[in-house]
A and B are shown apart, each in its own frame.
Chain A
Amino acid sequence: MDRRERIGKTPARLDFLQSFTGIALALFISFHLLFESSILISKEAMYTLTQFFEGYYFFGQKYPLIISALAAFILLLIVVHASVALRKFPASYRQYRAFKTHMTRMNHHDTSLWAIQVSTGFAMFFLASIHLYTMITLPDQIGPYASSERIALDMMWPMYLLLLFAVVVHAGIGVYRLILKWGFFEPKNPKALHTRRALLRSIMYFVITFYLVLGVASLGRYMVIGYSGEFAPGERYHPQGAAQ
Protein backbone atom coordinates (compact mmCIF):
# COMPACT_ATOMS: atom_id res chain seq x y z
CA MET A 1 0.00 0.00 0.00
CA ASP A 2 2.88 2.37 0.57
CA ARG A 3 4.24 2.28 -2.93
CA ARG A 4 2.57 5.60 -3.65
CA GLU A 5 2.46 8.85 -1.78
CA ARG A 6 -0.28 8.90 0.86
CA ILE A 7 -3.46 10.59 -0.33
CA GLY A 8 -4.56 13.32 2.07
CA LYS A 9 -8.05 14.62 2.63
CA THR A 10 -7.76 17.42 0.09
CA PRO A 11 -9.06 15.63 -3.06
CA ALA A 12 -12.26 14.67 -1.21
CA ARG A 13 -12.70 18.20 0.07
CA LEU A 14 -12.11 19.77 -3.33
CA ASP A 15 -14.69 17.49 -4.90
CA PHE A 16 -17.23 18.38 -2.23
CA LEU A 17 -16.42 22.08 -2.54
CA GLN A 18 -17.00 22.06 -6.30
CA SER A 19 -20.48 20.61 -5.91
CA PHE A 20 -21.32 22.68 -2.85
CA THR A 21 -20.38 26.05 -4.35
CA GLY A 22 -22.05 24.96 -7.59
CA ILE A 23 -25.39 24.21 -5.97
CA ALA A 24 -25.18 27.42 -3.91
CA LEU A 25 -24.60 29.47 -7.05
CA ALA A 26 -27.37 27.65 -8.91
CA LEU A 27 -29.80 28.40 -6.08
CA PHE A 28 -28.72 32.01 -6.09
CA ILE A 29 -29.19 32.46 -9.83
CA SER A 30 -32.58 30.77 -9.85
CA PHE A 31 -33.88 33.30 -7.31
CA HIS A 32 -31.98 36.21 -8.83
CA LEU A 33 -33.63 35.70 -12.22
CA LEU A 34 -37.06 35.37 -10.60
CA PHE A 35 -36.67 38.58 -8.59
CA GLU A 36 -35.28 40.44 -11.52
CA SER A 37 -38.28 39.41 -13.65
CA SER A 38 -40.53 41.37 -11.28
CA ILE A 39 -40.23 44.15 -13.88
CA LEU A 40 -42.60 42.04 -16.00
CA ILE A 41 -45.29 42.54 -13.35
CA SER A 42 -44.79 46.27 -12.92
CA LYS A 43 -42.18 48.91 -12.28
CA GLU A 44 -43.56 49.27 -8.78
CA ALA A 45 -43.10 45.57 -8.05
CA MET A 46 -39.48 45.77 -9.10
CA TYR A 47 -39.01 48.96 -7.11
CA THR A 48 -40.46 47.32 -3.99
CA LEU A 49 -38.15 44.33 -4.32
CA THR A 50 -35.15 46.61 -4.76
CA GLN A 51 -36.06 48.47 -1.60
CA PHE A 52 -36.48 45.16 0.20
CA PHE A 53 -32.99 44.01 -0.70
CA GLU A 54 -31.53 47.34 0.27
CA GLY A 55 -32.96 46.74 3.73
CA TYR A 56 -35.56 49.53 3.65
CA TYR A 57 -38.28 47.41 5.25
CA PHE A 58 -35.98 46.33 8.05
CA PHE A 59 -34.13 49.52 8.90
CA GLY A 60 -36.47 52.21 7.53
CA GLN A 61 -33.61 53.40 5.37
CA LYS A 62 -31.85 52.09 2.24
CA TYR A 63 -28.40 50.53 2.55
CA PRO A 64 -27.13 49.72 -0.97
CA LEU A 65 -23.97 48.41 0.68
CA ILE A 66 -25.96 45.23 1.41
CA ILE A 67 -26.07 44.67 -2.37
CA SER A 68 -22.32 45.32 -2.61
CA ALA A 69 -21.63 42.80 0.12
CA LEU A 70 -23.90 40.19 -1.46
CA ALA A 71 -22.27 40.70 -4.87
CA ALA A 72 -18.81 40.41 -3.31
CA PHE A 73 -19.84 37.19 -1.60
CA ILE A 74 -21.18 35.77 -4.88
CA LEU A 75 -17.92 36.74 -6.59
CA LEU A 76 -16.04 34.90 -3.87
CA LEU A 77 -18.19 31.81 -4.42
CA ILE A 78 -17.50 32.02 -8.15
CA VAL A 79 -13.76 32.32 -7.58
CA VAL A 80 -13.80 29.22 -5.35
CA HIS A 81 -16.07 27.30 -7.73
CA ALA A 82 -13.99 28.24 -10.77
CA SER A 83 -10.68 27.35 -9.15
CA VAL A 84 -11.84 23.87 -8.14
CA ALA A 85 -13.69 23.31 -11.42
CA LEU A 86 -10.54 24.28 -13.33
CA ARG A 87 -9.11 20.88 -12.33
CA LYS A 88 -11.44 19.34 -14.89
CA PHE A 89 -10.67 21.65 -17.82
CA PRO A 90 -8.47 20.29 -20.59
CA ALA A 91 -5.01 21.41 -19.53
CA SER A 92 -3.31 21.23 -22.91
CA TYR A 93 -4.10 21.20 -26.60
CA ARG A 94 -3.44 17.47 -26.62
CA GLN A 95 -6.11 16.92 -23.96
CA TYR A 96 -8.49 19.25 -25.75
CA ARG A 97 -8.02 17.39 -29.03
CA ALA A 98 -8.38 13.99 -27.37
CA PHE A 99 -11.67 14.98 -25.79
CA LYS A 100 -13.01 16.63 -28.93
CA THR A 101 -12.19 13.56 -31.05
CA HIS A 102 -13.81 11.30 -28.47
CA MET A 103 -16.92 13.47 -28.21
CA THR A 104 -17.43 13.62 -31.98
CA ARG A 105 -16.82 9.90 -32.37
CA MET A 106 -19.07 8.83 -29.49
CA ASN A 107 -21.96 11.17 -30.31
CA HIS A 108 -23.13 10.69 -26.74
CA HIS A 109 -25.55 13.11 -25.09
CA ASP A 110 -24.02 13.39 -21.62
CA THR A 111 -20.47 13.61 -22.96
CA SER A 112 -21.46 16.52 -25.19
CA LEU A 113 -23.31 18.26 -22.35
CA TRP A 114 -20.05 18.47 -20.45
CA ALA A 115 -18.39 20.32 -23.33
CA ILE A 116 -21.20 22.90 -23.18
CA GLN A 117 -20.68 23.24 -19.46
CA VAL A 118 -16.96 23.83 -19.86
CA SER A 119 -17.45 26.48 -22.55
CA THR A 120 -20.21 28.34 -20.69
CA GLY A 121 -18.14 28.18 -17.52
CA PHE A 122 -15.17 29.62 -19.34
CA ALA A 123 -17.30 32.43 -20.82
CA MET A 124 -18.48 33.36 -17.35
CA PHE A 125 -14.94 34.01 -16.12
CA PHE A 126 -15.35 37.25 -18.06
CA LEU A 127 -19.08 37.89 -18.27
CA ALA A 128 -19.88 37.32 -14.60
CA SER A 129 -16.91 39.48 -13.57
CA ILE A 130 -18.20 42.47 -15.51
CA HIS A 131 -21.66 42.17 -14.01
CA LEU A 132 -20.48 41.63 -10.45
CA TYR A 133 -17.99 44.48 -10.57
CA THR A 134 -20.83 46.83 -11.54
CA MET A 135 -22.97 45.52 -8.71
CA ILE A 136 -20.19 45.89 -6.16
CA THR A 137 -19.23 49.43 -7.20
CA LEU A 138 -22.64 50.86 -8.15
CA PRO A 139 -25.09 49.08 -5.84
CA ASP A 140 -27.43 52.06 -5.60
CA GLN A 141 -28.09 52.06 -9.33
CA ILE A 142 -30.64 49.30 -9.36
CA GLY A 143 -34.26 50.11 -10.05
CA PRO A 144 -36.83 50.35 -12.83
CA TYR A 145 -35.16 53.40 -14.39
CA ALA A 146 -31.56 52.95 -13.23
CA SER A 147 -31.37 49.33 -14.44
CA SER A 148 -33.09 50.18 -17.73
CA GLU A 149 -30.61 52.98 -18.28
CA ARG A 150 -27.67 50.67 -17.68
CA ILE A 151 -29.04 47.85 -19.81
CA ALA A 152 -30.31 49.91 -22.76
CA LEU A 153 -28.55 53.28 -22.88
CA ASP A 154 -25.20 52.20 -21.42
CA MET A 155 -25.09 49.33 -23.93
CA MET A 156 -24.84 46.58 -21.35
CA TRP A 157 -27.58 44.46 -22.93
CA PRO A 158 -25.39 42.41 -25.29
CA MET A 159 -23.25 41.41 -22.31
CA TYR A 160 -26.35 40.60 -20.21
CA LEU A 161 -27.83 38.53 -23.02
CA LEU A 162 -24.65 36.45 -23.34
CA LEU A 163 -24.38 36.13 -19.59
CA LEU A 164 -28.00 35.05 -19.33
CA PHE A 165 -27.54 32.21 -21.80
CA ALA A 166 -24.23 31.14 -20.26
CA VAL A 167 -25.44 31.14 -16.68
CA VAL A 168 -28.81 29.46 -17.29
CA VAL A 169 -27.36 26.70 -19.46
CA HIS A 170 -24.36 26.19 -17.15
CA ALA A 171 -26.48 26.03 -14.00
CA GLY A 172 -29.11 23.80 -15.59
CA ILE A 173 -26.62 21.24 -16.88
CA GLY A 174 -24.60 21.60 -13.68
CA VAL A 175 -27.45 20.70 -11.35
CA TYR A 176 -28.48 17.79 -13.59
CA ARG A 177 -24.93 16.44 -13.60
CA LEU A 178 -24.60 16.98 -9.87
CA ILE A 179 -27.69 14.83 -9.28
CA LEU A 180 -26.16 12.01 -11.34
CA LYS A 181 -22.71 12.44 -9.83
CA TRP A 182 -23.83 12.00 -6.23
CA GLY A 183 -26.67 9.60 -6.96
CA PHE A 184 -29.65 11.71 -5.82
CA PHE A 185 -33.13 10.53 -6.93
CA GLU A 186 -31.77 7.16 -8.01
CA PRO A 187 -34.40 4.50 -8.66
CA LYS A 188 -34.24 1.39 -6.45
CA ASN A 189 -34.09 -0.86 -9.49
CA PRO A 190 -30.80 -0.33 -11.36
CA LYS A 191 -32.56 -1.28 -14.62
CA ALA A 192 -34.53 1.98 -14.34
CA LEU A 193 -31.36 4.15 -14.18
CA HIS A 194 -31.52 4.97 -17.88
CA THR A 195 -35.17 6.03 -17.91
CA ARG A 196 -34.65 8.06 -14.75
CA ARG A 197 -31.73 9.85 -16.39
CA ALA A 198 -33.86 10.60 -19.46
CA LEU A 199 -36.55 12.04 -17.18
CA LEU A 200 -34.04 14.22 -15.31
CA ARG A 201 -32.70 15.44 -18.63
CA SER A 202 -36.19 16.44 -19.80
CA ILE A 203 -36.73 18.35 -16.56
CA MET A 204 -33.37 20.04 -17.06
CA TYR A 205 -34.30 21.19 -20.59
CA PHE A 206 -37.65 22.43 -19.32
CA VAL A 207 -36.08 24.47 -16.51
CA ILE A 208 -33.42 25.89 -18.85
CA THR A 209 -36.09 26.93 -21.35
CA PHE A 210 -38.23 28.48 -18.61
CA TYR A 211 -35.40 30.62 -17.26
CA LEU A 212 -34.21 31.62 -20.73
CA VAL A 213 -37.69 32.80 -21.72
CA LEU A 214 -38.11 34.58 -18.40
CA GLY A 215 -34.67 36.19 -18.65
CA VAL A 216 -35.03 37.32 -22.25
CA ALA A 217 -38.50 38.73 -21.53
CA SER A 218 -37.20 40.71 -18.53
CA LEU A 219 -34.23 41.97 -20.49
CA GLY A 220 -36.59 43.05 -23.27
CA ARG A 221 -38.80 44.90 -20.79
CA TYR A 222 -35.84 46.84 -19.36
CA MET A 223 -34.83 47.76 -22.91
CA VAL A 224 -38.31 48.98 -23.79
CA ILE A 225 -38.33 51.16 -20.67
CA GLY A 226 -34.78 52.32 -21.41
CA TYR A 227 -35.50 53.37 -24.99
CA SER A 228 -38.98 54.76 -24.28
CA GLY A 229 -37.63 58.12 -23.20
CA GLU A 230 -39.99 58.20 -20.22
CA PHE A 231 -37.17 59.23 -17.87
CA ALA A 232 -34.18 61.51 -18.09
CA PRO A 233 -30.69 60.03 -17.73
CA GLY A 234 -29.89 59.72 -14.04
CA GLU A 235 -33.52 60.02 -13.01
CA ARG A 236 -34.75 57.56 -10.37
CA TYR A 237 -38.11 55.84 -10.31
CA HIS A 238 -40.56 56.71 -7.56
CA PRO A 239 -43.96 55.12 -7.31
CA GLN A 240 -46.78 57.58 -7.85
CA GLY A 241 -48.02 59.14 -4.63
CA ALA A 242 -44.96 58.02 -2.67
CA ALA A 243 -42.91 60.44 -0.66
CA GLN A 244 -39.74 61.55 -2.40
Chain B
Amino acid sequence: MSEGRTLHVHILRFDPHLKDDKPRIETFELREAPGMTLYIALNDIRKYLDNSLKFDFVCRAGICGSCAMLINGRPGLACRTLTSKLDAHISLAPLPVFELIGDLSVHTGNWMRGMSERLETWIHTQKAPDIDRMEERMEPELAEAIYELDRCIECGCCIAGCGTIQMRESFVGAVGLNKIARYRLDPRDERSDAQLYQLIGDEDGVFGCMSLLGCADVCPKELPLQSQIAYLRRKMVQIGK
Protein backbone atom coordinates (compact mmCIF):
# COMPACT_ATOMS: atom_id res chain seq x y z
CA MET B 1 0.00 0.00 0.00
CA SER B 2 1.04 3.54 -0.59
CA GLU B 3 -0.15 4.69 2.86
CA GLY B 4 2.26 6.75 4.82
CA ARG B 5 4.32 7.82 1.83
CA THR B 6 5.86 11.25 1.89
CA LEU B 7 4.38 13.25 -0.95
CA HIS B 8 6.39 15.95 -2.66
CA VAL B 9 3.95 18.39 -4.18
CA HIS B 10 5.58 20.79 -6.64
CA ILE B 11 3.31 23.76 -7.21
CA LEU B 12 3.74 26.46 -9.83
CA ARG B 13 3.14 29.63 -7.88
CA PHE B 14 2.54 33.10 -9.19
CA ASP B 15 0.12 35.85 -8.35
CA PRO B 16 -0.11 38.45 -11.13
CA HIS B 17 -1.83 40.81 -8.69
CA LEU B 18 1.13 40.97 -6.31
CA LYS B 19 3.78 43.51 -7.17
CA ASP B 20 7.15 41.96 -8.06
CA ASP B 21 5.84 38.39 -7.75
CA LYS B 22 7.68 35.96 -10.03
CA PRO B 23 6.56 32.53 -11.28
CA ARG B 24 8.35 29.79 -9.34
CA ILE B 25 7.96 26.15 -8.38
CA GLU B 26 7.55 25.55 -4.64
CA THR B 27 7.76 22.10 -3.17
CA PHE B 28 5.70 21.00 -0.17
CA GLU B 29 6.26 17.76 1.66
CA LEU B 30 3.47 16.05 3.53
CA ARG B 31 2.48 12.65 4.84
CA GLU B 32 -0.02 10.79 2.67
CA ALA B 33 -3.23 9.72 4.44
CA PRO B 34 -5.48 6.79 3.44
CA GLY B 35 -7.98 7.77 0.74
CA MET B 36 -6.34 11.15 0.34
CA THR B 37 -7.36 13.24 -2.64
CA LEU B 38 -5.31 16.09 -4.05
CA TYR B 39 -7.94 18.43 -2.69
CA ILE B 40 -7.28 17.13 0.84
CA ALA B 41 -3.53 17.36 0.27
CA LEU B 42 -3.88 20.99 -0.85
CA ASN B 43 -5.96 21.81 2.21
CA ASP B 44 -3.29 20.23 4.43
CA ILE B 45 -0.63 22.32 2.73
CA ARG B 46 -2.66 25.48 3.23
CA LYS B 47 -3.52 24.61 6.85
CA TYR B 48 -0.11 23.46 8.06
CA LEU B 49 2.54 24.65 5.62
CA ASP B 50 1.61 27.83 3.77
CA ASN B 51 -1.64 29.70 4.28
CA SER B 52 -0.99 31.96 1.29
CA LEU B 53 -1.53 29.14 -1.24
CA LYS B 54 -4.41 29.96 -3.57
CA PHE B 55 -6.66 27.28 -5.04
CA ASP B 56 -10.39 27.00 -5.66
CA PHE B 57 -12.92 24.53 -4.36
CA VAL B 58 -16.58 24.44 -3.41
CA CYS B 59 -18.21 21.03 -3.50
CA ARG B 60 -15.32 18.57 -2.89
CA ALA B 61 -17.26 15.97 -4.90
CA GLY B 62 -16.63 16.61 -8.60
CA ILE B 63 -19.82 18.57 -9.12
CA CYS B 64 -18.81 22.23 -9.12
CA GLY B 65 -15.74 22.07 -11.34
CA SER B 66 -13.82 24.68 -9.32
CA CYS B 67 -10.72 22.64 -8.46
CA ALA B 68 -9.60 21.87 -12.03
CA MET B 69 -5.83 22.20 -12.45
CA LEU B 70 -2.94 20.66 -14.33
CA ILE B 71 -1.97 17.50 -12.48
CA ASN B 72 1.37 16.24 -13.80
CA GLY B 73 0.66 18.23 -16.95
CA ARG B 74 -2.87 16.99 -17.56
CA PRO B 75 -6.07 18.80 -16.62
CA GLY B 76 -8.12 17.14 -13.91
CA LEU B 77 -10.16 17.81 -10.77
CA ALA B 78 -8.14 17.85 -7.54
CA CYS B 79 -11.10 16.51 -5.55
CA ARG B 80 -11.48 13.51 -7.87
CA THR B 81 -7.80 12.58 -7.95
CA LEU B 82 -6.55 10.12 -5.37
CA THR B 83 -2.94 10.70 -4.40
CA SER B 84 -2.49 6.92 -4.18
CA LYS B 85 -2.90 6.77 -7.96
CA LEU B 86 0.02 9.16 -8.43
CA ASP B 87 3.76 9.07 -8.03
CA ALA B 88 5.15 10.49 -4.76
CA HIS B 89 6.28 13.54 -6.76
CA ILE B 90 3.27 15.47 -7.99
CA SER B 91 3.43 18.64 -10.09
CA LEU B 92 0.54 21.04 -10.00
CA ALA B 93 -0.01 24.10 -12.18
CA PRO B 94 -2.98 26.33 -12.95
CA LEU B 95 -5.07 25.59 -16.05
CA PRO B 96 -3.68 27.40 -19.09
CA VAL B 97 -5.88 29.55 -21.38
CA PHE B 98 -7.89 31.02 -18.48
CA GLU B 99 -7.14 34.25 -16.65
CA LEU B 100 -4.85 33.56 -13.69
CA ILE B 101 -6.11 34.73 -10.31
CA GLY B 102 -3.11 33.39 -8.42
CA ASP B 103 -1.26 30.08 -7.90
CA LEU B 104 -3.72 27.30 -8.84
CA SER B 105 -6.76 29.53 -9.02
CA VAL B 106 -8.04 30.62 -12.45
CA HIS B 107 -11.06 32.58 -13.60
CA THR B 108 -12.97 30.00 -15.68
CA GLY B 109 -16.20 31.92 -15.07
CA ASN B 110 -15.54 34.88 -17.32
CA TRP B 111 -14.30 32.64 -20.15
CA MET B 112 -17.39 30.43 -19.85
CA ARG B 113 -19.65 33.46 -19.80
CA GLY B 114 -18.04 34.83 -22.96
CA MET B 115 -18.48 31.45 -24.66
CA SER B 116 -22.13 31.21 -23.57
CA GLU B 117 -22.93 34.69 -24.84
CA ARG B 118 -21.17 34.05 -28.11
CA LEU B 119 -22.92 30.72 -28.73
CA GLU B 120 -26.20 31.89 -27.19
CA THR B 121 -26.48 28.81 -25.03
CA TRP B 122 -30.06 29.20 -23.99
CA ILE B 123 -33.47 28.15 -25.34
CA HIS B 124 -34.50 30.25 -28.33
CA THR B 125 -38.25 30.22 -28.83
CA GLN B 126 -40.84 32.45 -30.44
CA LYS B 127 -43.55 31.27 -28.06
CA ALA B 128 -44.31 33.55 -25.15
CA PRO B 129 -43.75 31.54 -21.99
CA ASP B 130 -46.90 30.77 -20.04
CA ILE B 131 -45.89 29.96 -16.51
CA ASP B 132 -49.40 28.92 -15.50
CA ARG B 133 -49.43 25.94 -17.85
CA MET B 134 -47.69 22.59 -17.58
CA GLU B 135 -44.61 22.26 -19.72
CA GLU B 136 -44.98 20.22 -22.88
CA ARG B 137 -44.19 16.56 -22.45
CA MET B 138 -40.93 15.05 -23.60
CA GLU B 139 -40.03 11.41 -24.20
CA PRO B 140 -37.94 10.09 -21.29
CA GLU B 141 -35.22 8.91 -23.71
CA LEU B 142 -34.89 12.41 -25.14
CA ALA B 143 -34.89 14.01 -21.71
CA GLU B 144 -32.12 11.62 -20.71
CA ALA B 145 -30.09 12.35 -23.83
CA ILE B 146 -30.31 16.08 -23.11
CA TYR B 147 -29.45 15.48 -19.47
CA GLU B 148 -26.42 13.40 -20.46
CA LEU B 149 -24.91 16.43 -22.24
CA ASP B 150 -26.16 18.82 -19.58
CA ARG B 151 -23.90 17.09 -17.04
CA CYS B 152 -21.09 19.42 -18.14
CA ILE B 153 -19.82 21.35 -15.11
CA GLU B 154 -17.78 23.91 -17.07
CA CYS B 155 -14.63 23.00 -15.16
CA GLY B 156 -12.43 24.01 -18.11
CA CYS B 157 -10.49 20.73 -18.36
CA CYS B 158 -11.47 20.23 -22.03
CA ILE B 159 -10.24 23.73 -22.84
CA ALA B 160 -6.92 23.23 -21.06
CA GLY B 161 -6.54 19.81 -22.73
CA CYS B 162 -7.26 21.16 -26.22
CA GLY B 163 -4.29 21.50 -28.57
CA THR B 164 -6.24 23.65 -31.01
CA ILE B 165 -7.09 26.37 -28.53
CA GLN B 166 -3.44 26.69 -27.49
CA MET B 167 -2.74 27.93 -31.01
CA ARG B 168 -6.05 29.66 -31.78
CA GLU B 169 -7.59 31.33 -28.78
CA SER B 170 -10.89 32.13 -30.50
CA PHE B 171 -11.80 28.44 -30.82
CA VAL B 172 -14.96 27.61 -28.83
CA GLY B 173 -13.65 24.27 -27.59
CA ALA B 174 -15.46 21.10 -26.59
CA VAL B 175 -17.46 22.78 -23.85
CA GLY B 176 -18.99 25.17 -26.39
CA LEU B 177 -19.64 22.52 -29.02
CA ASN B 178 -21.18 20.22 -26.41
CA LYS B 179 -23.59 23.00 -25.43
CA ILE B 180 -24.66 23.48 -29.03
CA ALA B 181 -25.21 19.71 -29.30
CA ARG B 182 -27.31 19.90 -26.13
CA TYR B 183 -29.56 22.73 -27.39
CA ARG B 184 -29.83 21.11 -30.80
CA LEU B 185 -31.41 18.08 -29.11
CA ASP B 186 -33.85 20.19 -27.14
CA PRO B 187 -37.23 20.47 -28.92
CA ARG B 188 -37.95 23.69 -27.01
CA ASP B 189 -35.08 25.38 -28.84
CA GLU B 190 -36.42 26.36 -32.25
CA ARG B 191 -33.08 27.17 -33.88
CA SER B 192 -32.47 25.38 -37.19
CA ASP B 193 -29.16 23.84 -38.24
CA ALA B 194 -28.66 26.80 -40.59
CA GLN B 195 -28.92 29.13 -37.61
CA LEU B 196 -26.55 27.01 -35.51
CA TYR B 197 -24.16 27.03 -38.46
CA GLN B 198 -23.92 30.79 -38.04
CA LEU B 199 -22.59 30.15 -34.54
CA ILE B 200 -20.21 27.23 -35.08
CA GLY B 201 -19.85 26.82 -38.86
CA ASP B 202 -16.32 28.13 -39.17
CA GLU B 203 -12.83 27.52 -37.89
CA ASP B 204 -13.62 29.10 -34.53
CA GLY B 205 -16.35 26.50 -34.30
CA VAL B 206 -16.69 22.86 -35.25
CA PHE B 207 -14.42 23.04 -38.32
CA GLY B 208 -11.58 24.34 -36.17
CA CYS B 209 -11.53 21.11 -34.15
CA MET B 210 -8.51 19.02 -35.14
CA SER B 211 -9.78 15.84 -33.44
CA LEU B 212 -6.85 15.58 -31.06
CA LEU B 213 -9.37 14.35 -28.48
CA GLY B 214 -7.53 15.72 -25.48
CA CYS B 215 -10.95 17.02 -24.39
CA ALA B 216 -12.58 13.59 -24.42
CA ASP B 217 -9.66 12.02 -22.56
CA VAL B 218 -9.54 14.55 -19.72
CA CYS B 219 -13.26 15.30 -19.20
CA PRO B 220 -13.91 14.44 -15.52
CA LYS B 221 -17.58 13.84 -16.31
CA GLU B 222 -16.67 11.50 -19.18
CA LEU B 223 -18.98 13.26 -21.60
CA PRO B 224 -19.08 11.68 -25.08
CA LEU B 225 -17.31 14.71 -26.57
CA GLN B 226 -15.70 12.74 -29.39
CA SER B 227 -19.00 11.51 -30.81
CA GLN B 228 -20.84 14.79 -30.16
CA ILE B 229 -18.29 16.85 -32.07
CA ALA B 230 -18.24 14.30 -34.92
CA TYR B 231 -22.05 14.39 -35.02
CA LEU B 232 -22.12 18.20 -35.16
CA ARG B 233 -19.48 18.15 -37.88
CA ARG B 234 -21.62 15.83 -40.01
CA LYS B 235 -24.67 18.04 -39.50
CA MET B 236 -22.83 21.29 -40.13
CA VAL B 237 -20.98 20.09 -43.24
CA GLN B 238 -24.36 19.46 -44.85
CA ILE B 239 -25.08 23.19 -44.72
CA GLY B 240 -22.20 23.62 -47.17
CA LYS B 241 -23.98 21.54 -49.83
Contact = CB atoms under 8 A, between A and B. Distances in A.
Contact of A193 (B161, B216, B236): B216
Contacts of B166: 95, 98-99, 101-102
Nearest to A13: B240
Nearest to A182: B230
Contacts of A183: 226-227, 230-231, 233-234
8 contacts: A6-B198, A10-B240, A11-B207, A12-B239, A16-B240, A106-B214, A183-B230, A193-B216
Interface string B201-222: 1110001011111101100001
Interface of A: 1, 4, 6-7, 9-16, 87-88, 90-91, 95, 98-99, 101-108, 110-111, 114, 177, 180-183, 186, 190-191, 193-194, 197
Contact of B197 (A7, A105, A114): A7
A181 B233 contact: yes
B163 A9 contact: no
A13 B207 CA distance: 10
Contact of B211 (A4, A103, A181): A181
Contacts of B209: 181
Contact of B240 (A12, A114, A186, A190): A12
Interface of B: 70, 73-74, 96, 120, 161, 163, 166-168, 195, 197-198, 201-203, 207, 209-214, 216-217, 222, 224, 226-227, 230-231, 233-234, 236-241
A1 B120 CA distance: 9
Given A12-B201, A16-B240, A107-B73, A98 B227 contact: no
Given A7-B198, A9-B240, A12-B240, A106 B73 contact: yes
Contacts, number: 109
Given A105-B74, A114-B163, 4 more contacts: A1-B198, A16-B237, A108-B74, A183-B226
* Smallest CB-CB A-B distances: 8 pairs: A12-B240, A183-B230, A190-B224, A105-B73, A95-B167, A181-B211, A98-B166, A102-B166
A103 B163 contact: yes
Given A99-B163, A186-B227, A190-B227, A110 B212 contact: yes
Contacts of A15: 207, 233, 237, 240
Contacts of B237: 12, 15-16
A194 B74 CA distance: 17
Contacts of B241: 9
Nearest to B230: A183
Nearest to B163: A111
B34 to A, nearest CB: 29
Contact of A182 (B198, B201, B233): B233
Contacts of A98: 166-167
B230 A180 contact: yes
Given A12-B201, A12-B207, A181-B233, A111 B214 contact: yes
Interface centre among B70, B198, B211 (most CB of A within 10 A): B211
Given A6-B198, A11-B240, A15-B207, A197 B230 contact: no
A99 B233 contact: no
A15 B201 CA distance: 10
A106 B161 contact: yes
B196 to A, nearest CB: 11
